Amino acid sequence: MSGWLAVAGLGPGDENMVTPEVRMALAEATDVIGYFPYVARVAAREGLNLHGSDNRVEIDRADHALRLASEGAKVVIVSSGDPGVFAMASALFEALEKRPDLHGLDIRILPGITAMLAAAAHAGAPLGHDFCAINLSDNLKPWELVERRLRLAAQADFAMGFYNPRSASRPHQFARALEILLEECGPDRLITFARAVSTPEERILTVTLAEATPEMADMRTVVIVGNSATRRVGRFVYTPRSA
């Protein structure tokens, strides 16, 4: 098979955060596939076919990419942030698992800067010690599992990064997440709301759990909760490496 397939992370939003490796793959590609807003970030040019699609069709997207690459195309599936973090890399491998005839295809996963890490950097260093990332959406897993993971992570004193905290269709769930955090971590634990990181609309807000409200987050927000040692220094927040 002469084609190849790359799954690339476009970073959190700022074009300066797109890696040279990803830029090179996009420059060589014949086809770019992804969620409409991510494909829109790729400049049109002669010889490049842009295939935008709606949300929640990850497997269809992966199947399309595999078919094009098997026919000789040079395909890039684009994700925001890093493609291996709640994004298209795992969807690709899920589709590939059903296609043993394509296991020899040239496939590359090209990392990107995640929204969580960009948010942490702009806030200071709240993920300076052990941390975990949790997707608060229950689209692909039951809410009971989200609550269990959230509670256990808090009990283990991890710093935590939350993706997809609050949408219009499930505003009550983030309120419940804040209740659990308050129960397990106490009112003085620091929580950072980082919205639209690395874009002109960026807003970073750090408060205590006692001060936090559900309305501080939406689907463009990454939420970071510190561990018991996380503290402020000037306008920054950080977690000591000895915590």
Domains, the chain:
4-113 (3.40.1010.10), 116-238 (3.30.950.10)
pLDDT at 56: 83
pLDDT band at 237 (very low <50, low <70, confident <90, very high): very high
Q: How far is the CA of 61 from the CAs of 64, 118, 187, in angstroms?
A: 5, 27, 43
Lowest mean pLDDT among 80-89, 157-166, 169-178: 169-178
Q: DSSP label at 121?
A: H
The secondary structure of the chain in percent helix, strand, coil, rounded to multiples of 5, reads: 35, 25, 40
Bridge partners, residue 219, by sequence: none
23-36 pLDDT tens trace: 999 999 999 999 99
47-69 pLDDT tens trace: 999 999 988 899 999 999 999 99
Longest dimension (CA), the chain: 58
- The mean pLDDT value for 73-92 works out to 96
Residue 146 and residue 149: Cα distance in Å, rounded?
A: 5
| Mean of per-residue pLDDT scores for the chain | 95
| Contact between residue 87 and residue 94 where contact means Cβ atoms under 8 Å apart | no
Tokens of 26: 């996009």
DSSP 6-68: EEEE-BSS-GGGS-HHHHHHHHH-SEEEEEHHHHTTSPP-TT-EEEEE-TT-HHHHHHHHHHH
- The mean pLDDT value for 119-147 works out to 95
pLDDT at 243: 67
| Contact between residue 82 and residue 115 where contact means Cβ atoms under 8 Å apart | no
With b for 16 or more beta-carbon neighbours within 10 A and e for fewer, the 15-36 pattern comes to eebbbeebeebbeebebbbbbe
User: How large a percentage of the chain has pLDDT more than 90?
Assistant: 92
More confident position, 180 or 140: 180
Q: How far is the CA of 62 from the CAs of 34, 68, 125, 134, in angstroms?
A: 9, 10, 35, 23
- The mean pLDDT value for 70-86 works out to 96
pLDDT for residue 1 is more than 70: no
pLDDT at 200: 93
Provide the pairing of β-strand 106-110 with 4-9: parallel
H helical segments located in the chain: 20-28, 36-39, 58-70, 88-96, 115-123, 143-155, 171-185
- Mapping DSSP to helix (H, G, I), strand (E, B) and coil, where does residue 215 land? helix
222-231 pLDDT tens trace: 999 999 999 9
Tokens of 83: 């493609």
Which pTM was predicted? 0.92
Q: Identify residue 208 by its one-letter amino acid code.
A: T
More confident position, 219 or 51: 51
147-168 pLDDT tens trace: 999 999 999 999 999 999 987 7
Residue 199 and residue 89: Cα distance in Å, rounded?
A: 24
pLDDT for residue 71 is more than 80: yes
